[in-house]
Amino acid sequence: MKLVRTPAEPSATPSTQSARHTWKLLVVDDEPDIRELTRFNLRGFRFADRDLEIIEAASAYEAREVLKQHSDIAVALVDVVMETDDAGLRLVEFIRKELKNPMVRLIIRTGQPGMAPERQVIDHYDIDDYKDKTELTAGRLYTTVRSALKAYRDLRTIDLNRVGLSQVLDAAPDIYRITNRSLDQFFQGVLTQIVGLCNLSDSSFISTMGGVIATFEDSDITVQASSGNLASQERFTEIRAQCADTIRTGRLPEGLRKGAYVVPLLVQRKALGFIYIEPTHELNEADRNLITVVAQQCSSALENLRLHIDLSQSYDHMIDMLATIAEFKDHTTGSHIQRIDQYTRLLAAELGSSEDEALLYGKASRLHDVGKIGISDALLCKPGKLDAAEFAIIKTHTTMGGTILAHDHFLELAREVALHHHERWDGKGYPDGRPSREYQLVTRIVSVVDVFDALVSHRPYKKPWTPQDAALEIRNNSGTQFDPTIVTAFLKLFEAGAFDAIIQSAQREDALPEALLPAIQGA
């Protein structure tokens, strides 16, 4: 995987940008002269290409209000004796325990060391340094503040990496049963790690410059994760064409910002996307190598997603083929299978299933009558009532369906539906005669919607019922044939009109001339 570096921009750009982003230093002291002297001694201070912004507070109380407004203060110089003899120490406890801010570097600076002995303060308070005001010359103050800022920057970088790693680890188990949700989390975690690695951030900690992970989808470029000002459509539009051309042609882009990097996401030598970053400083070789490794992990995730999509599509095609075979075999049921799918998904969602679960249930429901492949056309299309022997043969479509679907574990849910959708709540159904409460939710849902759709549809042996009469029949069999909870949810949706479009499709099919039904239903 090749890392492409863009040409540098004029050197004026970084200083122009960094002027907008400063390190914040809080000076807490009740002596105006001390605050003024601190400001004077730190004039012109810069660290990591950023200026110093000094914020003053004349008391611990005032400092608390400032800290609530500025969560990104990097260093605080805190006097001990102010409105009370231990006001500064109480402020330290407030910062660490109430604000729960472990990042800001706290430096105790006192002119009365006898009031707060150094060892006692160091041992009992979470501070980072202790200074007597008399020893803080201009040079010592410079060194102290610079060291504290460096520690703050490094801690924030570590924390960004921790957050990114946490997101990646949370998403990793789902990469192999991947969903769009887990992939989004994975990419955002990866980008967060790169942000920490490259000292980027979308907060004022380092810079509004950031990064983006994007993928190619046909002729489109889709953002999978973004940070900093690259999250805006305007900024991404500015760089995406140049990045895409760089990946596709291998030519270095022109006009991108100084130090920007483009890393291709390659799967089998084919570019599926890119990582684009705008670091605030020159990256060393180790950083670039690590970014390349991260890009390879992104590429692996994309490959897993492609394989998942291929497998999912193959599964869908297999279900569609089996369902189509069942429709060709029993053309008297028309588009019954599609309608059962729609009913099932709506009812599953009403009962609290997730969108993914409802979709899976709908697919499984499509194969509920696949066993009719093994039933003769004469019985399936018989216009009159079946005798006991004929009905016994019809009932075998459940066990035949279970046998057909038993050869692949991906079809286990569909197998249960096919085998047990004629079981009853009171245990008087078939083929096993066990209470339907023992079976999964989708099986009990299909038991209800299968009967309802059969009642409102034309059959060789009966005319369609009105939807109201069919719904009443479902209600009357609640607690005997059907799960009462599912019946309640079904009737709620029915009365709200949620099923109207599905019912109308059955009625339109019934209105067709009977001679045309087999041709249309088999199409």
pLDDT tens by residue, 132-178: 888 778 899 999 999 999 999 888 877 766 665 555 555 455 444 44
Q: Is there a contact between 381 and 521 (Cβ–Cβ < 8 Å)?
A: no
**DSSP-derived 3-state class of residue 110:** strand
Taking 90 as the threshold, does the pLDDT of residue 340 lie above it? yes
Taking 50 as the threshold, does the pLDDT of residue 285 lie above it? yes
Taking 50 as the threshold, does the pLDDT of residue 19 lie above it? no
The pLDDT of residue 446? 97
**What are the backbone dihedrals phi and psi of residue 108, each rounded to the nearest 5 degrees, phi first?**
-75, 130
> Mean of the pLDDT values across residues 96-106?
92
Choice among 68, 270, 372, 395 that is catalytic: 372
Taking 80 as the threshold, does the pLDDT of residue 286 lie above it? no
Taking 90 as the threshold, does the pLDDT of residue 277 lie above it? no
306: confidence class by pLDDT, cuts 50, 70, 90: low
CA separation for the pair 183, 166 (Å, rounded): 14
Please report where in the chains the tokens 């705008």 appear, as a residue.
278
pLDDT tens by residue, 114-132: 666 777 787 888 898 998 8
Q: Is there a contact between 333 and 369 (Cβ–Cβ < 8 Å)?
A: yes
284: confidence class by pLDDT, cuts 50, 70, 90: low
Partners of 22 in beta bridges:
51
Beta strand pairing status for 105-110 and 22-28?
unpaired
Phi-psi region of 93 (alpha: psi -120 to 50; beta: other; left: phi over 0): alpha
Q: What is the 3-state secondary structure (H, E, C) of 9-76?
A: CCCHHHHHHHCCCEEEEEEECCCHHHHHHHHHHCCCCEECCEEEEEEEECCHHHHHHHHHHCCCCCEE
Sheet holding 129-132, edge to edge: 46-47, 50-57, 22-28, 75-78, 105-110, 129-132
The pLDDT of residue 283? 67
Tell which wins on pLDDT, 327 or 372.
372
For residue 485, the Cα-to-chain-centroid distance in whole angstroms is: 32
**What are the backbone dihedrals phi and psi of residue 53, each rounded to the nearest 5 degrees, phi first?**
-105, 120
The pLDDT of residue 506? 85
Taking 90 as the threshold, does the pLDDT of residue 242 lie above it? no
Q: Is there a contact between 82 and 115 (Cβ–Cβ < 8 Å)?
A: no
Which of the given ranges, 103-112, 211-220, 403-412, has the highest pLDDT on average? 103-112
End-to-end CA, the chain: 50
293: confidence class by pLDDT, cuts 50, 70, 90: confident
Of 37-41, 165-169, 177-181, 433-437, the least confident: 177-181
The pLDDT of residue 378? 80
Which of the given ranges, 241-245, 325-329, 464-468, 517-521, has the highest pLDDT on average? 464-468
In CATH terms, the superfamily for domain 154-307 is GAF domain (3.30.450.40)
- Read off the tokens for 511: 């209105």
Of 108-122, 359-373, 444-458, the least confident: 108-122
pLDDT tens by residue, 482-517: 999 999 999 999 999 999 999 998 887 655 444 433
**DSSP-derived 3-state class of residue 262:** strand
- Read off the tokens for 505: 């499709």
Calculate ∠ Cα 397-350-434, nearest 5°. Answer: 35
The pLDDT of residue 215? 75
Sheet holding 270-277, edge to edge: 4-5, 261-267, 270-277, 211-217, 220-226
Q: Is there a contact between 422 and 395 (Cβ–Cβ < 8 Å)?
A: yes
Note the CATH number of domain 22-136: 3.40.50.2300
Q: How many CB atoms lie within 10 A of CB 302?
A: 20
Tell me which fold the domain 330-521 belongs to.
Hypothetical protein af1432 (1.10.3210)
Of 16-30, 35-49, 208-222, the least confident: 208-222
Tell which wins on pLDDT, 29 or 333.
29
- Read off the tokens for 129: 């340094």
Q: Is there a contact between 188 and 225 (Cβ–Cβ < 8 Å)?
A: yes
The pLDDT of residue 373? 83
Q: Is 241 exposed, middle or buried (0-12, 13-18, 19+ CB in 10 A)?
A: exposed
- Boundaries of CATH 1.10.3210.10 in the chain? 330-521
- Boundaries of CATH 3.30.450.40 in the chain? 154-307
> Mean of the pLDDT values across residues 216-227?
74
The pLDDT of residue 73? 94
**What are the backbone dihedrals phi and psi of residue 426, each rounded to the nearest 5 degrees, phi first?**
-90, 5
Catalytic-residue membership of 258:
no
Q: Is 263 exposed, middle or buried (0-12, 13-18, 19+ CB in 10 A)?
A: buried
The pLDDT of residue 202? 38
How high is the mean pLDDT of the chain? 79
- Boundaries of CATH 3.40.50.2300 in the chain? 22-136
Taking 80 as the threshold, does the pLDDT of residue 95 lie above it? yes
Calculate ∠ Cα 58-59-60, nearest 5°. Answer: 140
